[in-house]
Amino acid sequence: MISKKSYAICYLGFHDPRIHIRGTENVIKVQSSACQARKYYLFRSNKIECFKWGRLIAIALPINYFMGFMVLNKLLWRINRRHKPLIVHAHNYILATLVLTGTLVFTVHDSLTYHKQMSGIRFLSPYKLMEFYVYLRAKKIHAISNYTWGQAPFHDLFKNKVNIIYNSIANTPKATAKCNCNPYFLVVRSIEERANIDLIIDFADYLQKNNHTETVMIAGKGPLLNYYINIANIKKISNINFLGYVSDSVLNDLYNSAKCVIMPASYGEGFGLPLIEAYSRGIPVVGSRVCAVPEVIYDKQHMFDNSTQSLLKAISTAITVPPEELKSYFMKRFAEAIIKPQYFEFYLKVLS
């Protein structure tokens, strides 16, 4: 732990952590546990309020850009007066560009320019300019994988500012009894284009046509959820279940009873949190051979190209690994005990 309590860290994120606690919010929980500073979490919302989020004080900013700019910097100015120095640790490019007070550091989950490019946007200059400005202003930059930083424009220009620190999980998984149900494959994804749910539809269709007993569970919401539900209904695929949003406790049970976790992706996957969530429980995982998955996955034989046959081959290899080996892999590379000291060193560099 960094013992100097007089300073403060203000995290700038995306979502209300009472509603959304995956992705960015999970990273912030781990980061904030590495130090004893006064800690704040700011995000944009339609409802302005303040509440406790664990050991952080969470404050919702106005959704309006001008009002958000005014309120954000007034808050940072007040915090900086009470607790010096102030580190502003941003995860949000837009909020990072609005910061006028404090020492800025930034976490790159996905390059903004890369994400927009892969989404089909052609005019990328504004996004490149925003990234350049944020990286230029930041004293230090944290990227969640080598892949993520490699996709960022100007990555060579700012390479001396960068620390690669992998994700961890903020809460120790709870051991629960496996359910007395048919075996199933679990997919934990936001249901959007980059998640490549089309492959999972084809995989479930193959299982059904070949009389396999396994089903497919998909946990997650997103803009294409209803679209894929309709596709499954049209194709009369009955062995796939779209669960939508599930609570942490339900998700924990789903992980613990899964035969194998599947991590499909086509682009924009800067790390792959479901990979390490499964490993922490000793559950085998297979993932697409793209993005940051090769950095994180236990064995390259557990990766698949985007075809059903490749996916089946990867699963047949992954399910032979003993659970204790997978847990050991997690503990050696991604456990909080491994990751928190890296954040400790990161913040020491920022304060130096």
Same fold, 8-168+336-351 and 184-333: yes
What count of residues does the chain have? 352
Does 276 score more than 80 pLDDT? yes
Contacts of 137 (CB under 8 A, 6+ apart): 96, 99, 104
- According to CATH, what is the number of the domain 184-333? 3.40.50.2000
Query: Please, which residues bridge with residue 59 across strands?
Result: 42, 50
What are the boundaries of each domain within the chain?
8-168+336-351, 184-333
Express each pLDDT in 156-197 by its tens digit: 999 999 999 999 997 777 767 677 788 999 999 999 999 999
Task: Read off the pLDDT of residues 39-48 as tens digits, 9 standing for 90 and up.
Answer: 999 999 999 9
Q: Mean pLDDT in the chain?
A: 93
Q: Encode pLDDT of 95-142 as tens digits.
A: 999 999 999 999 999 999 998 998 889 999 999 999 999 999 999 999
242's enclosing H/E stretch is strand 240-244
Q: What Å distances lie between residue 227 and 192, 194, 218, 223, CA to CA?
A: 10, 14, 14, 8
pTM: 0.92
Q: Which of 24, 100, 94 is nearest to 62 (CA)?
A: 94
Reported CATH class of domain 8-168+336-351: alpha beta
pLDDT by residue (tens digit) across 297-315? 999 999 999 899 999 999 9
**What values do phi and psi take at 318, rounded to 5?**
-65, -35
Residue 1 pLDDT grade (very low, low, confident, very high; cuts 50, 70, 90): very low
Are 91 and 109 spatial neighbours (Cβ–Cβ below 8 Å)?
yes
pLDDT at residue 16 tops 70: yes
Percentage, residues of the chain above pLDDT 90: 86
Helices (H) and strands (E) in the chain, counts: 14, 14
